[in-house]
Structure 1
């Protein structure tokens, strides 16, 4: 049974924007400033260029293959089954860890420490229930969250731009530091793939998906640029680099102390928005993998009334709740970043093979996108690379054993 096409252009853009304007905007600028200093905006520009190249690859592929699964499907169709499996495995495993991290991040902003794990479980179950009831409910809730978060970010940007200027930087940054900051910022707004993973539920997908991907990315980059300028202005590069909560520090530095609670609420909502989109995206990728027996076949079921991959979403919620209750993943999901870059590398390689009417963008964009992914991987801390290789090694072993025993 196939999923129902219920999402319009605005719904697709909102889901993509909700994936990108997540908790990352409240936390990514500090480590990026530590890496790039006063050249933070140069790092943001590099990240935006790589993201644009990757987005054109995803948009072009989604127009040709408007089904659930994203790069898992594109890799299988264009490069071979193993390529698709690597992309799908990296996405499902890495983003499952990201779900737990987002749930814990929400709880850290929303409730006192003793209640954080129970609150994170409640958040996972509540959002899984929203997804279970149909994709239109997911889109409506995403719209509410995105509007609220953008309102909070507008307050932060206004405070930062109108506040007194912070101290100037006392040191420069190396090209490596700029690239490392680009890697950190790229991961913060790389959620446009969520639109492609839901390609089976979008109306007029050949037209809607490419436009929605690029529109959502453009809006997210614009928001990040404005916030980046505001933070650099009011805090200065060094104070920004040392900040634990840069957006809250920005409103305090501007003298807008009354806005600090709003920042806390905005961060909690942004975490929920990212979690909502992650649950939807992982469920659809798991559905596609189960259809080809790369995950257990029973996960491929589609609910007869709500037209969602309900078993995949229930299984995901159970696993994420278990992680939330047992492990603190907020600072230990480097392999998820590794997986994102591998995922987009395969998307670029798959898009490179498209020809004729299926080619919408010049091949040079796929070449730049693939090169950008490789370069940004090289900037990751070595524990993230080792963890990523280990996760992919487990996945490859699993598929090899399954094929041998089949």
Structure 2
């Protein structure tokens, strides 16, 4: 596949891709939602999320060292389960979770951009701006790897510096008081299940590290640099998340953070820095969301192209010229646009977390049962990652069942439809001769 170029992404470029996806959705879209579940001490939940993610990353690093691939997770699943239903379905769940993440970031872009203007109603403008950003991401992605990694690396550096400055200035103005946000009389203290469930959203904030594995064979010295890039990206994101979360916690009461959860960071800048602080925050949000969308689209379109070439998922050209990867790029953008229009931030995030955690557990189980000797993985670490995912997912589902059953129902139906559809395709479609093992 000519679209994949070995040694076209440097270590710095890989870190830029990872942080580009992580920081865009992680802090802007999810901070308020984490606060709603975890209460006063929500900044600490990002540390818990980083720990869960670090255990998960172990499996991906081991797999990347043995099987560096531009298809990343799709190739890992194929090595674990063969060319069958589990591989195709789990890879699609990952792809869908990334497309969901793109719509999350797109709506975040619209939400924060509109903080600069005084519109009575933004119901139409938020998705409209998000769709516009996705169209821009499509144009950037057809320019090639070199431009993408340069663009995302520069944008990632700018947003990391900007967010760090914003957090430090905010903490400085409140005397570096690392204190929990004050609550409100109408806010009940969260229970243990709610605390654990909130970790699911922070895991979603860190899952952008998989963008790096999806570009494995394109990274310079992948057996050395994929693992380095993943851990560096997670560490950078953790520092930025915790600093910003504490800054927001010190600036606003918990009730206000929850009320303004879709734009909590901009709201926190208002009392300590005034309108200039809001403008600066929105500018950083725009940079972060733009780079996040571009990096995510870059990764998922390549993974879907590899699955198509492996005849694991159906593909239609619809008269479009160019390579399969260009076609999957179009499908990715169109899917993200549809979700951006149809769902709000909270439900998008919830669906993304559920799909990702299910896929993540399938990856760990495959390593544990089929590849631990081949990839030289430590069984205890992989089992811990699998167990932590299961606990977090169970808690999150329980909270959502009690608060938003529709999200759980749609997610469950979507997962079942994915597996059933792939089963039918591999048995009866053009992929029918490819199903060897599950």
Residue 335 of structure 2 corresponds to residue 332 of structure 1: no
RMSD of aligned C-alpha atoms?
2.6
Q: 1-side partners of 2:300 and 2:388: how far apart?
A: 24
Deviations 1:140-167 (A, max 9, x none): 1112221222233123212321233576
Deviations 1:193-245 (A, max 9, x none): 01001112112111111111111111111111211222222335454344333
Q: 1:403 to 1:250 in 2, by over 3 A?
A: closer
Which residue in 2 is equivalent to 1:285? 303
Q: 2-side partners of 1:322 and 1:237: how far apart?
A: 33
Q: Give the secondary-structure state (helix, strand or coil) at the position aligned to 1:250.
A: helix
Residue 124 of structure 2 corresponds to residue 108 of structure 1: no
Q: By how many angstroms is 1:289 displaced?
A: 1.1
Which residue in 1 is equivalent to 2:371? 354
Which residue in 1 is equivalent to 2:143? 133
Q: 1-side partners of 2:285 and 2:390: how far apart?
A: 31
CA contact under 8 A between 2:159 and 2:284: conserved in structure 1? yes
Unaligned segments of structure 2, at least 5 residues? 433-438
Which residue in 2 is equivalent to 1:398? 421
Which residue in 2 is equivalent to 1:98? 101
Which residue in 2 is equivalent to 1:158? 168
Q: 1:321 to 1:388 in 2, by over 3 A?
A: closer
- Superposed, 1:55-94 pairs within 5 Å as 55-80=57-82, 81-94=84-97
Q: 2-side partners of 1:82 and 1:142: how far apart?
A: 34
Q: By how many angstroms is 1:90 displaced?
A: 0.6
Q: How many residues align?
A: 399
Q: 2-side partners of 1:225 and 1:31: how far apart?
A: 15
Q: 1-side partners of 2:33 and 2:346: how far apart?
A: 13
TM-score (norm. length: structure 1):
0.89
Residue 162 of structure 2 corresponds to residue 149 of structure 1: no
Q: 1:329 to 1:238 in 2, by over 3 A?
A: closer
Q: 2-side partners of 1:260 and 1:297: how far apart?
A: 44
Deviations 1:95-129 (A, max 9, x none): 22332332233233335645554443332222112
Unaligned segments of structure 1, at least 5 residues? none
Alignment equivalent of 1:246, drawn from 264, 277, 280: 264
Q: By how many angstroms is 1:61 displaced?
A: 0.6
Q: By how many angstroms is 1:50 displaced?
A: 0.6
Q: 1:295 to 1:86 in 2, by over 3 A?
A: closer
Which residue in 2 is equivalent to 1:273? 291
Residue 130 of structure 2 corresponds to residue 120 of structure 1: yes
Q: 2-side partners of 1:34 and 1:118: how far apart?
A: 27
TM-score (norm. length: structure 2):
0.83
Q: 2-side partners of 1:265 and 1:308: how far apart?
A: 35
Alignment equivalent of 1:24, drawn from 23, 26, 30: 26
